[in-house]
Amino acid sequence: MKSKFRFVYQQLADEIRTSRYEPGSLLPSEHELTDRFQVSRETIRKALKLLSEHGYIQKVQGKGSVVLDFARLEFPFSGVMSFQELNEKLALSALTDVIRFEQQPASSTAATRLDLTEGDPVWAVERVRTIEGERVILDQELFSVAVIPKLTREICEKSIYAYIEGTLGLTISFAKKEIVVEEATPTDQAHLDLHGATHVVVVRSYTYLDDATLFQYTASRHRPDKFRFVDFARRVLQ
Amino acid sequence: MKSKFRFVYQQLADEIRTSRYEPGSLLPSEHELTDRFQVSRETIRKALKLLSEHGYIQKVQGKGSVVLDFARLEFPFSGVMSFQELNEKLALSALTDVIRFEQQPASSTAATRLDLTEGDPVWAVERVRTIEGERVILDQELFSVAVIPKLTREICEKSIYAYIEGTLGLTISFAKKEIVVEEATPTDQAHLDLHGATHVVVVRSYTYLDDATLFQYTASRHRPDKFRFVDFARRVLQ
DNA sequence: AAGTGGTCTAGACCACCTC
DNA sequence: AGGTGGTCTAGACCACTTG
């Protein structure tokens, strides 16, 4: 564990997940936690801030930190989760089929999406995800060659994220996503088991690295009945 | 403005929005901002944390705070936004039609959803949202009478959120949401202009107050082509 | 009045990036 | 080496809730 506040966060998160604190009850006060973990109050507060951002608790001034019902939604916080990670989490039997893999100069739309100049080299990848025997997701992805100089079909068959974070030592940091429903294209119909569905759910995402570099654009096309998105949203006051 | 760090946040956010800082460039260092705003470094850091959580900047250790491309997605952060707020933002001509309004004892499913005991009184409200002449959203809502003792049809026609936050003086704090696609029900078909759409996008949300009280459950049923959801997601490391 | 969280400070040391 | 952000501390005062 790197930092003290992350340790405290982990500890308390585990205790909440394993129901050592009842939903609706209060966590020990910041002062008590200071005693228990032998760290300063600001450090405890950083841990509690994380817990609250991830939907474990809600802080109420003058009262304390209320433990939330963690089970109400399965994944109480949304994140930048790769297909692989999602699979491990759900323990599903999944397969990835690479149906397109090439390097090419960026078209004008591709350049816009990756914040590049037209003609800059990009990787164009299309992958079909088969879950429990059915082809349900079509991922159409663009990667900047400037960020990922080398890429192989084999890497695409496993996990590009694992390659980027493991082998290349880069850190994926955040993503901006948009979710809409669109008519199924002939490509969708060719590569997905749509079972008569006329539309697909499209998740477009722009993924950024640690150093704020935009390196990936993805359109993830889901069969509607196999799509589910969970979000934990704090109110934003302007 | 209440606090110093919120003031600094507002100031910098405004300057980023009005392009006083180029996307990709660096914000002044924390030390320089300390000088400029005459506050401590921790206060500056709280403001920068907010900016980063809202998608304005990305902090890079050893380098600085990189200004992000704010325009890439229209609403770079998701929040708990009411229908009214969304309308004002989009300046759409919208109408609300209350098709159901009653107080009743909670059924067992209603009780589960609002974390109440079966038989506890709840408000059951159904509202149809008409945007630009078309009925595109059906909201099915449950409110706890314990939290909202008085409610009228008139309030439902305007904005329940405005009533709760304005008249009742309560503060809406956060929501847990789930998005799925479901077959259109006869109710959907009766009240929405589906134009042949066979499915609807369903956003289920549990809304909480400031004091961690769960007070609202909503199933918001959207005509697919009029649905759009934008999310800004930081990577969650476990 | 006592306890809780919310804000703010000044100073320290560390890890990382760039020159 | 110097600048940047990341972490941590001890102490202070304020605002809110509860008895």
Read off the pLDDT of residues A8-57 as tens digits, 9 standing for 90 and up: 999 999 999 888 888 888 999 999 999 999 999 999 999 999 898 888 89
Residue that the structure tokens 């959801």 belong to: B229
Q: For A56, list phi and psi in degrees, rounded to 5.
A: -85, -40
Distance from CA of B166 to the nearest CA of A (A): 15
From B154's Cα to the closest Cα of chain A, the distance in A is 25
Q: What is the DSSP letter of B43?
A: H
Please name the member of A66, A73, A225 whose beta carbon is closest to the beta carbon of B176.
A73
Question: Tokens standing for B102?
Answer: 């009653």
Q: How far is the CA of B37 from the C1' of D12 (A)?
A: 21
Q: Is A237 exposed, middle or buried (0-12, 13-18, 19+ CB in 10 A)?
A: exposed
Cα gap B2→A238, rounded to integer Å:
12
Shortest Cα distance, chain A CAs vs residue B229, angstroms: 5
Tell me what the mean pLDDT of segment B149-154 comes to: 92
Neighboring chain A residues of B235 at a CB cutoff of 8 Å: 79-80, 172-175
Contact state of B212 with A236 under an 8 Å Cβ cutoff: no
pLDDT at B81: 55
pLDDT by residue for chain A (238 residues), tens only, comes to 678 999 999 999 999 988 888 888 899 999 999 999 999 999 999 999 989 888 889 889 888 999 988 766 554 444 555 555 565 556 566 789 999 999 999 999 899 888 888 999 999 999 999 988 899 999 999 999 988 888 999 999 988 888 888 788 788 888 888 888 999 999 999 999 999 899 999 999 888 887 878 889 999 999 998 888 877 776 654 3
Q: Which pLDDT does position A175 carry in this prediction? A: 83
Q: How far is the CA of A50 from the C1' of D1 (A)?
A: 35
Q: Give the pLDDT of residue B238.
A: 39
Closest chain B residue to the Cα of A223, Cα to Cα:
B181
Residue A50 CA, chain-centre distance (Å), reads 17
pLDDT of residue B200 exceeding 90: yes
Residue with tokens 């098709």: B99
Q: Token match 């800059």: residue?
A: A120
Domains and CATH numbers, chain A: 4-67 (1.10.10.10), 83-226 (3.40.1410.10)
Q: Which residues contact B14 (CB under 8 A, 6 or more apart)?
A: none
Count CB neighbours of A97 within 10 A.
14
Nucleotide nearest B6, from its CA to each C1': C7
User: How far is residue A14's CA from residue A16's CA, in Å, rounded to a whole number?
Assistant: 5
